[in-house]
Structure 1
């Protein structure tokens, strides 16, 4: 692999339809929404360079505005300790694959392991946009879309579903399950 990284797990499972296909849920989104998603969804990979740059975890994230800066909202699993889920893994480096296929280093700024969320800052270059995650009406909507980006291929994927009435295992009213597969 590039840069001498060892790939233990691919974390590259495809789902739904690719952005390039314009099929599936992409055909139901407006062109503006689809384009904004394509410029705000990133892929992140964490690794411990003291362990031969073995990839620890990979996931998607979305560029948001936080404290006046463009940052990434992602899963805290990116940094969660594999032996004690109430702690983060020490000495991890974070690589960010931006929508324009450029790679940059990310820095963990904030995390909440209970809610499994993390904020990662990055040095961005090029054309990206921030997602509007403050639309409370979207949370109450029954139709939702799950979007992700592969780290190696940069492929943007999405699938549609509906919000279920089940609350998540977290004690947060805004976090729900969906039928997106």
Structure 2
């Protein structure tokens, strides 16, 4: 194990990463949780279970899960959790042939679990268990992450079935201990506007300090409603919203696979942009209050073009010195080719990464640029990051018309063809080696 130092409420605390410790080891003042936290946890605690997985005699993972369905006639229950718990090896997209799942109910009763459906791209799974006693089902609620930045007039709030989740909103990460007591664990925190460190862009970040026991467990609001599935980003807690989880479960049950739309652009909520960019945008377009910002577009460019090779100081613009510089570049490139042939694995990866060419993406072909503000998709207004993901969901291989605002050029309309993202390990719990460049 390795110790990670972090900050919470202005005081330094320590958190043990890559561990299956109880939350009390990492949460500050764990025994002094306020009444609102306790009441919210008690509303959802009866649906939280502990899950232990083995591959033969080898321990795979210890996490948590949420009971989302229960059939009273047949006595079967469905537990929602993370696919990390059933993954064969770290980063491997495979299920062990000798997989064994143990599910511990809130009362400590052990049930044998059977893997029902799973998907490694969105990293969710469901486990079926049989119980003779009735089990409680979690109350699930989708979230609305839109924030209107209208500074001229007040914005009327309409009634919605979704839970409004703004930066700073209080949330609670839950888990259940796997030891004899099987006690419920809770870590309160707030929803953060910062990007998650992983390349899994559907993940949202919170300030809840957790251990790996939270993986697969529920993230709840202060009404006791499940709004997401926990993921571990040491030492904090990230989650995938129930909006995405519900669509994944629907596709898996209907088609056996989920959609993987890709346009090759890194998208984020408008309020997460830098202050300087927001200031320039508001100066030019004061009526634009919602949308998503394009942070980066994957295009056909040479990654190593910014810094190819250092040239001597005598390189000035003249025919003679230009020939000398060309000779130096060719010589250095030959040296790199020799290193590529004779070098070790680290040298080979560095050279290949330096001269790698990024393929053209649908966003690049359509003419999208960084700092564009997307406000509509196929005639439907886009107010948040989640709404943009939902707009792309069933559009693989189909044209998508987007209306955007480009600073300095005004409103424009672009048409792009949504592609399919390749199967890739977009993230891995507790390992930086599995990170890969990813964008929508």
Same fold (TM over 0.5): yes
Whether contact under 8 Å (2:172, 2:188) holds in the other structure is yes
Partner of 2:176: 149
Whether contact under 8 Å (1:43, 1:61) holds in the other structure is yes
Whether contact under 8 Å (2:194, 2:205) holds in the other structure is yes
In structure 2, list runs of 5 or more residues that go unmatched. Answer: 1-17, 144-161, 210-440
Q: CA deviation at 1:75?
A: 1.3
Aligned length: 163
Partner of 2:186: 158
Whether contact under 8 Å (2:53, 2:60) holds in the other structure is yes
Q: 1:11/1:58 Cα in 2 relative to 1: closer, same or farther (>3 Å)?
A: farther
Summarize the alignment of residues 35-54 of structure 1 with structure 2, pairs less than 5 Å apart. 35-49=42-56, 53-54=57-58
- Secondary structure of the residue that 1:39 maps to in structure 2? helix
Measure, in 2, the Cα distance between the counterparts of 1:11 and 1:39. Answer: 25
Greater strand fraction, Structure 1 or Structure 2: 1
Shift >4 Å, 4+ stretches: 66-69
Partner of 2:156: none
Whether contact under 8 Å (2:37, 2:188) holds in the other structure is no
RMSD: 2.9
Partner of 1:108: 115
Q: CA deviation at 1:170?
A: 2.2
Q: CA deviation at 1:104?
A: 0.5
Measure, in 1, the Cα distance between the counterparts of 2:64 and 2:179. Answer: 12
- Secondary structure of the residue that 2:208 maps to in structure 1? coil
Partner of 1:57: 61
Q: 1:30/1:54 Cα in 2 relative to 1: closer, same or farther (>3 Å)?
A: closer
Partner of 1:176: 204
Whether contact under 8 Å (2:189, 2:207) holds in the other structure is yes
Partner of 1:15: 23
TM (norm. structure 1) is: 0.76
Q: CA deviation at 1:74?
A: 0.8
Among candidates 114, 126, 138, match of residue 131 of structure 1? 138
Measure, in 2, the Cα distance between the counterparts of 1:103 and 1:66. Answer: 17
Whether contact under 8 Å (2:54, 2:99) holds in the other structure is yes
Q: 1:130/1:150 Cα in 2 relative to 1: closer, same or farther (>3 Å)?
A: same
Question: Given the alignment of the two structures, is residue 82 of structure 1 paired with residue 85 of structure 2, yes or no?
Answer: no
Whether contact under 8 Å (1:145, 1:159) holds in the other structure is yes
Q: 1:70/1:147 Cα in 2 relative to 1: closer, same or farther (>3 Å)?
A: same
- Secondary structure of the residue that 1:29 maps to in structure 2? helix
Q: CA deviation at 1:114?
A: 1.7
Among candidates 156, 161, 165, match of residue 140 of structure 1? 165
Question: Given the alignment of the two structures, is residue 99 of structure 1 paired with residue 106 of structure 2, yes or no?
Answer: yes
Whether contact under 8 Å (1:109, 1:120) holds in the other structure is yes
Q: CA deviation at 1:123?
A: 1.0
Whether contact under 8 Å (1:100, 1:126) holds in the other structure is no
Bigger radius of gyration: 2
